[in-house]
Structure formats: structure tokens, C-alpha cells
Amino acid sequence: MSEDLHSHSHSHADVLNDSNDHSQEHGHSHGHDHGGHGHCNHSHDMPSSSEQEAEMEAISSVVTSFLYYKTYALNNAIYRRLKCIDELSEPHRQIVASLGTIDKIKRAETLIRENYKLMLDIVYSSSVGSMPDPAGDAGVFKEWLKRFFEVRQSAGKQEVSDSHMKKLYGTMKLFVRDWSSEGADERRLTYGPLIEALEDEFSDIAPESRGSVRVLVPGAGLGRLAYDICCRGFSTQGNEFSYFMLFASNYILNSSLEERQHAVYPYIHQFSHVACSEDQMRAVYIPDALPRDMPYSATAEFSMTAGDFIEVYGADDEKEKWDAIVTCFFMDTAKNVLAYLDTIWHALKPGAVWVNLGPLLWHFDNVAGESSIEFTRDEFLELAVKMGFVFDESKNKEDILLPYTADPKSMLQYTYHAFMCVARKPK
């Protein structure tokens, strides 16, 4: 299996807009790229110099967030709390000290530094050849590397936005969801029905013979759903847009040599809804499965692509190319969901299937400076029918209770009432 990364010409300029931050603690977000097994080549126009510069700014912004994680987290999670304790009256300070609170905060400081080592590893693994040059121009990527080292040398001098750091914190929680044993229950609830529907659709084909069945997973996040589908024998390609997930998924997919190789402390920044300190301080080990180990790798190809879903899969060379498209917590990331549906229709072969599961947390709803069209669930389903999709009503489900990057030990739990639908593009 090759480990080459494949990229598409596109712009990540929107990622730089803080108003587009949709990785809030209780929301879900998508965006990204990857290294894969197999090959996927698309011909797109070369980007303009302004598009290249926007791409550079997007990369630099995300790299900066990884590199300034330690400074940001220590200032916001540690030092301001220690300052508050210092400002207490002496009797109150002694009581707090007797609880071990100061020791707990200092322990959290140590664990943030451990997380920072992982952040540096993630950026470094992408800087030494795994990251594709989205412009197809080696000079642009070399310039990015130059800026990368300049940023490292000026550590502490450049500020990052709160929204970018929220995205980075959210990426840590996605490691738990996608690549840890602790996330297994969440994956079973969310990915399980999608995989079951896909296997039911191709039940007449033995797993070892499914390599000819091509499955696309838009909004692939850190790649676990696409990986799990490939492990069932299907040739699978994930697509993502966000450089936060691009960097993280590249790392987990291409740099993991053994199970539980990396420790991450995803809950160390949370001081609310905590029952005991050990819950907050606990390590989560990733990955729980090696991406390199796929039972049907001789026949099933696995790959990840970077780029905007509509731009990449609305291209002429993607027309009627896919036997199935699986969307998970993805459709509500659209500004215009009709464009998503058009792209799905364009990419599916006649007779092919679309399997969808997720909520309707429309990501651009009430975002300053953005406009979008939001639909109810019933309107969404009717819209898909009007655009030509034929639903299998027996497989449509409502009120599926799902968490998203939930901390099972938290005293506060959020649950989505999601829905699932299975539709076909008529022959």
C-alpha cells in the first residue's frame, strides 16, 4: 500500500475567517486531506497567485495554531487560574491549597506540555514530505516550509485566534472519537448503521471481492469511517477540507507504527462539569487500530483527498465514478445544500446508492457575514426527491440519539436527534 498524499487545486481561504468557526465544543465540523493507498489523480486549473497566497495563509494560520498550542493553553488554562488563587485571601488560599487544587493545576500544566510534543510531531510529520502542495508547485511548498521554520523561531510572538484554538482542541477530541478504544461506542452508534447499510446494499458480493466497489466519504474527518469501510473490502476514498484535520489525519494514517503509540490528553483544558480530577487528567491512547493493517488490502484501495467537495467531485473526471457515497455529519456543513446534492448526483453512477446520517446543525446559520439556506429535515428529504433521488423508505430512520466527540465521563452530555436515509440515483 502506498503512502502517497494526493491533493486537489483549491483554496482554503474560508478557513481563515474566524466567523466560520464551527468546531465549537458542542458542534461538529469538517474540512481536510490525506495520504492514501492507491491513486487518485484529478486535473484542475492551476491556481492564480492570489489563490496560492490564500493557500499559504491558510496553511500558516493552522501551523501557527499547532505551534502556539502550549503558549495559548498555559495562559488560558493554567496561569490565569494560578493568578486567581494568588489573589485570594490567605485563609482562602490555604483552604484551596489543602484540597490539592494547586497541585492539580500544575499537573495539568505538565500534561499540556505533553500534548505540545504531539502537536510538534503532527506538524513535523507533515513538513517532511507527507503534505501535498495544493498548488502543484514545489516552490510554493518550499516557501511554506521556510515560513514554518520562521514561525518556530519566533515562538511566543505571534497570536492565534480563540476560534482556531477551539478547532485544535476539537481535533484532539476527534482523535478520541475516531482512533481510540474510548471512542468505540460512539463509532458503533454513528458509523455502525452506515456500514451496515452499505454491506446490506452489496450483500451479494463477498468481502474479498468488493475491491471493485468504489465508495466515497465526503467530510471524512480523521478518516476512521473511510478506513472502517475499506476494512470491509470496499475501495474507499475520504475527502476533507480543513487543514486542522488534514494535518492530524495525515499523522495518524501515515505515522502510526503500533497501536496505542501516542498519548493525548484531550480534556485537560476543561474545568467545568468535572466529577473528579482523574477524569480531566486521563490519557487517551491512539490509534486503537493500525491504518496500515487492512484485511483486504490486496484488492481494496484506500485514499484521502484534500479539497472542497463541490470543486473536487463536481469536476468532469468525477462524473458517474462512484458506486456509493456515504455522508456522516456532513450535509449540514453546506452553505447551499442543493450544491451538495448536485455534486452527489454528479459523482454517483446510475443505480448507485447514497447513505446519509447526521443532524441538521446548519453551520452557517446566523454567522455574521455569511449567507446560507437552512431546511427542516422534512424539507431536506423532499428536496432530495425533487432533485431525482429515490429513497428506500424502509431504511429511513428518525430520532437516532447520537453524541459527537462526547466525554463519557463529563457531568454534561449533549445528544443529537439525528436521522438516516438511504437513496438511489435511478438507472
CATH number for the domain harbouring residue 165: 3.40.50.150
Residue 390 belongs to a domain = yes
Predicted confidence at residue 55, as pLDDT, reads: 79
Predicted confidence at residue 52, as pLDDT, reads: 77
Residue 18 belongs to a domain = no
Cell output for 400: 437516532
Quick: pLDDT tens for 24-78. 344 665 433 333 333 333 334 556 677 777 877 888 889 899 999 999 999 999 9
Residue 115 belongs to a domain = yes
Residue 7 belongs to a domain = no
- Indicate the number of domains in the chain: 1
Q: Cα 23 to chain center, whole Å?
A: 10
Q: Distances in Å between the alpha carbon of 418 and those of 171, 199, 332, 359?
A: 22, 21, 11, 4
154 pLDDT higher than 70:
no
Helical H segments across 276-403, by residue range: 277-281, 309-313, 337-347, 377-386
Cα–Cα dist 44/229, whole Å: 28
β-pairing verdict for 34-35 and 302-306: unpaired
Quick: pLDDT tens for 77-114. 999 999 999 999 999 999 999 999 999 999 999 999 99
pLDDT band of 147, cuts 50, 70, 90: low
Cα dihedral sign for 178, 183, 189, 193?
Answer: positive
Residue 20 belongs to a domain = no
Predicted confidence at residue 275, as pLDDT, reads: 98
Residue 207 belongs to a domain = yes
- Of the candidates 221, 217, 240, 237, which has an alpha carbon nearest to the alpha carbon of residue 355? 217
Residue 23 belongs to a domain = no
Residue 285 belongs to a domain = yes
pLDDT band of 151, cuts 50, 70, 90: low
Q: Distances in Å between the alpha carbon of 277 and those of 96, 286, 322, 398?
A: 14, 21, 48, 37
Residues paired with residue 264 on neighbouring β-strands, in sequence order: 284
State the residue range of the domain holding 78.
29-424
Beta-strand ranges (E) seen in 268-319 are 284-286, 302-306
3 state SS of 384 = helix
With a CB cutoff of 8 Å and minimum separation 6, the contacts of 12 are 31, 54, 55, 58, 59, 134, 241, 242, 243
pTM of the predicted model as reported, rounded to 2 decimal places: 0.87
Predicted confidence at residue 219, as pLDDT, reads: 98
Backbone angles phi, psi at 361, to 5 degrees: -90, 80
Predicted confidence at residue 295, as pLDDT, reads: 87
Contact 353, 392 (CB under 8 A): no
192-215 average pLDDT score: 97
pLDDT band of 345, cuts 50, 70, 90: very high
Quick: pLDDT tens for 232-285. 999 999 999 999 999 999 999 999 999 999 999 999 999 999 999 999 999 999
